[in-house]
Structure 1
Amino acid sequence: MHAAVIALDENGYRYLCDLGDQWVSPILVDNTSETFTPEPLSGFYPAARVAVTAAGQHVEIQYHQPAGKWRSFLSTNEGLFPDPDTVSLEEWAVRISQYAGFNEEFTLEALMYFGKLKN
């Protein structure tokens, strides 16, 4: 299940509030606003920049994620904070468990299982 809504600000401009993906903050999707930009922006979605293309009632969101290794960020209302790099599955299991509240042992087993599928 995924939930997202369009909210209006005090000036009547539309903002996407993507609850399903847990965005950091709503993003302006109303191209009639003078502050609207179609350029990729940081600070809305963890570990990616997003660009909004708006035409009438239709909105398209494009995610611009950097290539390379998987990076971890703490996502807050104050912004995105990069975590230190990890080198082992055990470190990833600890980090994921701390952030998501998952059982660390189960998380490590899942990471090892999916690592085997990749090879």
Structure 2
Amino acid sequence: MKASQSVIDIWKRFDDFPMETLTKAWYSQIASVNKQRTVDLMKLHREEYGTSGNCFDLAIWLINEFRENKLQAYAVFTPHFHVAVVVIDDEGYKYLCDLGDQWVQPILIDREHEEYTEEFVEGFFPGAQIKLTTQLENLIVTYRRPSGKESNQSFNLTPVSDSELIAAGEKTQRNITSPLVEKRLFMDDQVGHWEFDNYKSFISRNTGREIEDQLSGIEEWANRISRVSGINEAVVLRALEVYSR
């Protein structure tokens, strides 16, 4: 179920990228017209401030990297306005790549491949086993946590055009409701998942979830988020200020 090396090589360029909705709040105070950033601007912001972006930013950037390396790639949507990427490797097989949900690695979605399975597998999503189910043009992903709790997510595998992707990105960049940061933690024996959501933070591991100490004030949260995510603390603080209005 693992991707071919040509896909993995591109994917691993994003190992240290968090998924975060802080940049769009910060950038909303700068951009006067277009809120969806170009890849060149995203690269500049990452170099200067350590930012990455939300699922649309990451999908647009990842597609660009695949295409620059001669691999066909396109976006796919969920019914809940989440976006991931499908890439086709040198042998013509398709893989789902979801940086927005901080997957550990891409996963094979081609039923014709001899390695394809719809059993639960490990090593693709931090702190959970996953199982795929294909139904016509829909892909259903089932997540099973260490507690045994299961949840599902559905992807429509119909390719999204570049223009549709940018338009949807523009829409979501203008939706500033609550701050969220997710970051993969590469440990010796596993990949964990750190999350900041609604002024709570926790780490998910193969053994379960660990709740971190509660903080008081956005200054303290900005410091913690910056230390884990690598995003400039002043940018984090400015974003939290925008969300707190």
User: Same fold by TM (over 0.5)?
Assistant: yes
> In angstroms, what is the RMSD of aligned CA positions?
3.8
**What is the aligned length?**
100
Q: What pairs up with 1:13-92 in 2 under 5 angstroms?
A: 13-67=93-147, 74-75=185-186, 79-80=190-191, 82=205, 89=213
Distance 1:22 1:41 in 2: 16
The residue type paired with residue 100 of structure 1 is S
Task: Tell me by how many angstroms 1:3 deviates.
Answer: 2.9
Deviations 1:2-61 (A, max 9, x none): 330111122211110012112111001111110001111111111111111124432111
The residue type paired with residue 19 of structure 1 is L
The one of 215, 225, 228 aligned to 1:99 = 228
What stretches of structure 2 of length at least 5 have no aligned partner? 1-55, 57-81, 149-183, 193-204, 215-220, 234-245
Aligned residues with identical type, % of pairs = 38
What stretches of structure 1 of length at least 5 have no aligned partner? 104-119
TM (normalized to structure 2)?
Answer: 0.32
The residue type paired with residue 144 of structure 2 is H
Deviations 1:53-78 (A, max 9, x none): 1244321111111118xxxx7247x9
Q: What pairs up with 1:5-16 in 2 under 5 angstroms?
A: 5-16=85-96
Structure 1 partner of 2:16: none
Distance 1:55 1:31 in 2: 11
Is the Cα contact below 8 Å between 1:52 and 1:59 reproduced in 2? yes
SS at match of 2:227: helix
Is the Cα contact below 8 Å between 1:3 and 1:19 reproduced in 2? no
Is the Cα contact below 8 Å between 1:7 and 1:17 reproduced in 2? yes
The alpha-carbon distance between structure 1 residues 97 and 67, as it changes in their structure 2 partners (threshold 3 A), is farther
More helix by share: 2
